[in-house]
Copies of this chain bind each other. A is one copy, B any other.
Amino acid sequence: MSLNTFGHVFRVTTWGESHGPALGAVVDGCPPGVPLAEADLQVWLDRRKPGQSRYVTQRREPDAVEILSGVFEGRSTGTPIQLLIRNADQRSKDYSEIAGKFRPGHADIAYWQKYGLRDYRGGGRSSARETAARVAAGGVARAALAELAPALSIQGYMVQIGPHPIDRGRFDAEEIARNPFWCPDAQAAEGWADYLDGLRKSGDSAGAMVEVVARGVPEGLGAPVYGKLDADLAAAMMSINAVKGVEIGEGMAAAALTGSANADEIFMGNDGRPAYASNHAGGILGGISTGQDVVVRFAVKPTSSILTPRRTITTAGEPAEIVTKGRHDPCVGIRAVPVGEAMMACVLLDHLLLDRAQTGGARGPIG
């Protein structure tokens, strides 16, 4: 990851601000010959786009993606793929409130301090709109993975909103698409609706925790020791707006375990490949995928743009109070679900390509 680019050999560079004419991504290093059309990407963007429920921003953006390069006669050519998404709903508004004051908990002050100026319209580059470009790029990664690792699938879902986690005993993958929260626990989803409605009314916002699982991941992905698969996943997820923590498998809870409890015992599966009695490791050992499900979780802090008044300062250093009006996500974590999936797709494809660069798929036979 370097400035606005991530990936070793499948490299994604995003650009664009919240209220500029457009934003997008250049996807470089995509294998040639991958079937690819705008509709293949739009399906993922449609899952992230705003305005789909009252729990996300009411900004109206079609998030229609255009492929400007790198695809010829329906297939990737191996050259850079430019994905462009026009900003449609740049509603004219009065920015005086946030132009001259810093929202507590927001990147406002940090951008100002670093760059000496900032595009305050909608958060500029620090806006979560940037993640639309990630989702588009993730769509390209998924298309390539469908060719190179057809058994691989990726699913993200919400495991907690505010202080309310799901009950994993009620986990039902079918539920995920049935509620506006990507929640696999129908009962939890109902509680979240009430919780968020209450927060919305009081002008507040909620944090969230997202889990992304990749199944059918080929073994051997990850380049120890600084290109470890988990290190790259950690960076990828932490780079998403508002993320404050990333876990692999057992995550922070690993601290409380003993070695005997943490060890995923190994046996031979019916398919003649290693199988495991548990998955505390989250599918990664020594930075390398083992073939088990890769399990990543990340926490998204609550939106900083809230109606509740907060104390702050102006750019002139004067004390002030701020109330952020506008169309903000009551729980920005909700739209982070498809973003987390996209980052998982990009990282896995990148490591699949990097692994075949070095090893060409050399594998130690077991059994």
CA distance A102 to B75 in the complex (A): 21
CA distance A282 to B238 in the complex (A): 13
Residues of B within 8 A of A267 (CB): 311-313, 319
Contacts A5-B226, A21-B68 given: A259-B306 contact, CB under 8 Å? yes
Residues of B within 8 A of A246 (CB): 234, 238, 245-246
| Chain B, residue nearest A118 (CB) | B77
CB distance from A346 to the nearest CB of B (A): 11
Q: Is the pair A266, B78 in contact by a Cβ cutoff of 8 Å?
A: no
CA distance A247 to B254 in the complex (A): 14
CA distance A254 to B300 in the complex (A): 7
CB distance from A82 to the nearest CB of B (A): 4
CA distance A222 to B2 in the complex (A): 10
State which residues 1-57 of A face B: CB under 8 Å: 1-6, 8-9, 11, 13-17, 20-24, 26, 28-33
Q: A338 contacts the other chain (Cβ, under 8 Å)? A: no
Residues of B within 8 A of A138 (CB): none
CA distance A362 to B76 in the complex (A): 13
Residues of B within 8 A of A230 (CB): 238-239, 244
Interface size on A, residues (CB 8 A): 166
CA distance A130 to B265 in the complex (A): 26
| Chain B, residue nearest A206 (CB) | B258
CA distance A280 to B301 in the complex (A): 10
Residues of B within 8 A of A23 (CB): 68-69
Q: A231 contacts the other chain (Cβ, under 8 Å)? A: yes
Q: Is the pair A124, B227 in contact by a Cβ cutoff of 8 Å?
A: no
Contacts A77-B118, A224-B126 given: A245-B256 contact, CB under 8 Å? no
A300-335 interface mask toward B, CB cutoff 8 Å, 1 = contact, 0 = none?
A: 111111101011110111110000000000000100
Residues of B within 8 A of A141 (CB): none
Quick one: which of B13, B82, B257, B364 contacts A301, CB cutoff 8 A? B257
Quick one: which of A68, A245, A268 has the most chain B CB within 10 A? Answer: A245
Q: A299 contacts the other chain (Cβ, under 8 Å)? A: yes
CB distance from A356 to the nearest CB of B (A): 6
Residues of B within 8 A of A73 (CB): 117
Q: A288 contacts the other chain (Cβ, under 8 Å)? A: yes
Residues of B within 8 A of A31 (CB): 358-360, 362
Q: What are 10 residue pairs bridging A and B, where the CB atoms are less than 8 Å apart in the complex? A: A3-B226, A4-B26, A15-B70, A15-B80, A107-B285, A107-B287, A116-B363, A161-B255, A254-B299, A353-B358
Further 13 A-B residue pairs, CB within 8 A, beyond A31-B360, A113-B363: A4-B79, A14-B80, A17-B69, A21-B68, A33-B116, A79-B125, A113-B219, A235-B235, A245-B245, A247-B299, A253-B299, A254-B301, A267-B311
